[in-house]
Amino acid sequence: MISPISCPALLVSAPASGQGKTLATAALARAWRNRGLIVRAFKCGPDFLDPMILQKATDLPVYNLDLAMCGESDGQLRLYQAAQEADVIIVEGVMGLYDGTPSSADIAERYGLPVLLALDASGMAQTFGALACGLLAYRPALTPAGVLANKVGSAGHAKLLETSLPAHLSWFGALPRDEAYALPERHLGLFRAAEIEDLDARIEAAAIALAASGELALPPAVTFEKPPLENLPLLLQGKTIAIARDEAFCFIYPANLDCLTTMGAKLVYFSPLHDKTLPEADAYWLPGGYPELHLAQISGNAEMRKALQAAFDLQKPILAECGGMMALAESIQSASMDAQAAFGLLPGKCHMHSKLQGLGVLQIELPIANLEQGTLGAHTFHYGSFETSLPGMASAKTRFGKSESLYRHGSIFASFLHFYFASNPHVAAQLFLP
């Protein structure tokens, strides 16, 4: 019998988006790390950008927890594995505590994670305690961990906030209102961690300020059970998969990399922006990112265009997700400039819009001739559209009714979807096989 394992853990949530959850989570994680503790961080939902910030704070990979996209047993396994090495586990929620289906509250309840609220306290005094108490009491099954105040005006303001809390809610300190901590944003969310040159200094300054405002005691220990494990077949044994990774192609779940290597694949990396050749590989994967911000480099890299075309002509499997699909199209037209040529492997043109074109977590069925029948968890979040004559070979709808298609063109699988391979490794492997 596999023994459960216990580790101090909590989930950081808020009343809404924009309350400073990512900064609060990163600052608290770094403050604990500065005390010599091993801190493992997670992110609720399918986000790519917040985990990059949390990885900078902890210096360890950050995995996603999502009951719909990843599945309950996947989250249970990730937390169990983290508890084996961590002194404390910190999970950043998504949106407000009860927003979404499933919500951060659903994840906290499913895995027994105590909830820490990060509240924007600007313009607030004693109501701070009432808001915290009401939010956490709304679902009695939740375990309260405490409250952290963000955008605090002064030490006196922080004291007012702290004394407003009832005895059962612990004070996890205050972050002053300071532009030195601000995390810049763009249309898909926060900037990538690598784009914020002084990110480490920002996180460190926030951690020092937070540690100076409270004791920052560890949360209660949570017991994590190990789920039954499936022995994955080595479907990719002996295969080399080359993965695009640079400023334009950066949305990669660590769990996807783990899944591929567990099935026997060797992973190598290349840059469609900077490289002139492709590494020798059996299959290629262009994940999502920001091709629309690097159109001149994509359009001007004729050598990479020829290399991708050669791989396509050899019928090498190519998976293109979201930004990867856009880059393989004939052209991309951004909101601020005329259309520029892309790599041109896919018949169709991409356009960037000022409003969101796709959002949601879904399950997509993949009924293709040489592909094992099954579903893959995925999510969509994009401002682009794809005008093409290609018929969709499969499609799925988000809960908002938006339909997303998967296209097959020769050896290319392309979609605005970001797939979570660990949700069905048997199916995911077939995307990389001829």
pLDDT in tens, 201-223: 999 999 999 999 988 999 999 99
- 31: tokens are 């403050």
Please tell me the predicted confidence (pLDDT) of residue 233. 86
Instruction: Determine the Cα–Cα distance for residues 378 and 71; give it in Å rounded to an integer.
Output: 11
Distant-in-sequence, close-in-space partners of 137: CB < 8 Å, separation ≥ 6: none
Task: Name the catalytic one among 7, 259, 322, 350.
Answer: 322
Whole-number Cα distances in Å, 78 to 62, 103, 111, 225, 407: 10, 18, 11, 11, 31
The amino acid sitting at 420 is: Y
Average pLDDT score over the chain: 93
Looking at residue 372, what is its pLDDT? 58
pTM: 0.94
Exposure b/e, 246-281, CB count within 10 A at least 16 = b? bbbbbbbbebbbebbeebebebeebbbbebeebeeb
Q: At what angle do helices 199-212 and 21-33 cross, to 10 degrees?
A: 80
322 belongs to the catalytic site: yes
Q: How far apart are CA 254 and CA 400, in angstroms?
A: 28
Q: What is the pLDDT of residue 356?
A: 84
What per-residue confidence (pLDDT) applies to 107? 98
What is the Cα–Cα distance from 181 to 202, expressed in whole angstroms? 5
The 10 Å Cβ neighbour count of residue 395 is 15
DSSP-derived letter for residue 27 is H
Q: Helix (H, G, I), strand (E, B), or coil: what is residue 157?
A: helix
d(Cα 185, Cα 191) in Å, to the nearest integer?
Answer: 5
CA-to-CA dists, residue 68 to 43, 48, 415, angstroms: 14, 16, 19
- How far apart are alpha carbons 253 and 40 in whole angstroms? 16
Residues 134 and 142: beta-carbon distance below 8 Å: no
Q: Percentage helix, strand, coil, to 5, in the chain?
A: 30, 30, 40
- Read off the DSSP letter of residue 165: S
Please state, in angstroms and as integers, the Cα–Cα distance from residue 276 to each residue in 266, 270, 303, 307, following that order: 22, 10, 5, 8
Q: 């990774």: which residue's tokens?
A: 245
- Which domains are delineated in the chain? 5-224 (3.40.50.300), 240-430 (3.40.50.880)
Stretches in the chain below the pLDDT threshold 70: 1-2, 186-189, 368-373
**Cα–Cα distance for residue pair 148/166, rounded to 1 Å:** 14
Q: Helices 72-83 and 104-111 meet at what angle, rounded to 10?
A: 60
Planar angle of CA 308, 339, 192, nearest 5 degrees: 70
For residue 12, with 0-12 CB atoms within 10 Å meaning exposed, 13-18 middle and 19 or more buried, which class applies?
A: buried
What phi, psi does 96 have (nearest 5°)?
Answer: -85, 165
Please name every residue paired with 406 in a beta bridge, in sequence order, or none if there are none: 394, 415
- Cα 134 to Cα 19, 76, 95, 165, 173: the distances in Å are 17, 29, 17, 11, 19
Give DSSP secondary structure letters for 291-350: GGG-HHHHHH-HHHHHHHHHHHHTT--EEEETHHHHHHSSEEE-TTS--EE----SSSEE
Please give the single-letter amino acid code of residue 63.
Answer: Y
Given a contact cutoff of 8 angstroms between Cβ atoms, the answer to whether 314 and 321 are in contact is no
